[in-house]
Amino acid sequence: MKDSNCIFCKIANGEIPSYTIYEDNMFRVIFDLGPASKGHALVLPKEHFKNIFSLSDEYAAKALIIAKKVVTAMTEELECDGFNILQNNEEIAGQTVFHFHIHLIPRYKGDDVKLTWNPTELDKSTAEQTAKKISERIKK
């Protein structure tokens, strides 16, 4: 399904032009218009999924294979030193465009990209119980 009000549906399906790095029948990979670093790209499914919670297993499985192909080629071409692969879900997590996408962010020695947090300490008093409860939900 496409969403006629969604800009990434339009870009992914070629109705709005983009700088396309890769395309197949399910995905388009484009350059981000506000790049964190040179080569910052977005993996866009051609079907509309708001974010990971509604993403189909078929698209989920293929998305990482495409990310792998693209970062490999980009590393050779751009001679970057590493990659961050990032995917935001919901506003609190930084999602601003509500069509599933994966960020591919090339990293260069000495760059100014910041994707950091302050590590805290795992709460060991609840960790085992919480892990078990989540595990049970996965099996449902």
- Planar angle of CA 103, 71, 107, nearest 5 degrees: 70
Q: From the CB of 102, what's the least distance to ligand AMP, in Å? A: 9
Structure letter (DSSP) for residue 54? T
The terminus-to-terminus CA distance of the chain in angstroms comes to 27
**Hey, which residues between 57 and 86 contact ligand AMP (CB under 6 A)?**
none
- Residue 17 found at the interface with ligand AMP (CB under 6 A): no
Separation CA 3–CA 9 (nearest Å): 6
Tokens 């800009």 correspond to 7
- Given 40, 48, 99, 101, the catalytic residue: 101
- Residue 3 found at the interface with Zn ion (CB under 5 A): yes
48 vs 103, which CB is nearer to Zn ion? 48
Site track for Zn ion across 21-60, x = CB under 5 A: ---------------------------x------------
Separation CA 63–CA 25 (nearest Å): 12
- 101 in active site: yes
Query: In a 3-state reduction of DSSP, which class is residue 47?
Result: coil
- Residue 9 found at the interface with Zn ion (CB under 5 A): yes
Cα 127 to chain centroid distance, Å, stands at 28
33 binds, among ligand AMP, Zn ion, none (CB under 5 to 8 A by kind): ligand AMP
* Footprint of ligand AMP (CB under 6 A): 7, 30, 32-34, 42, 88, 94-97
Positions marked active-site: 101
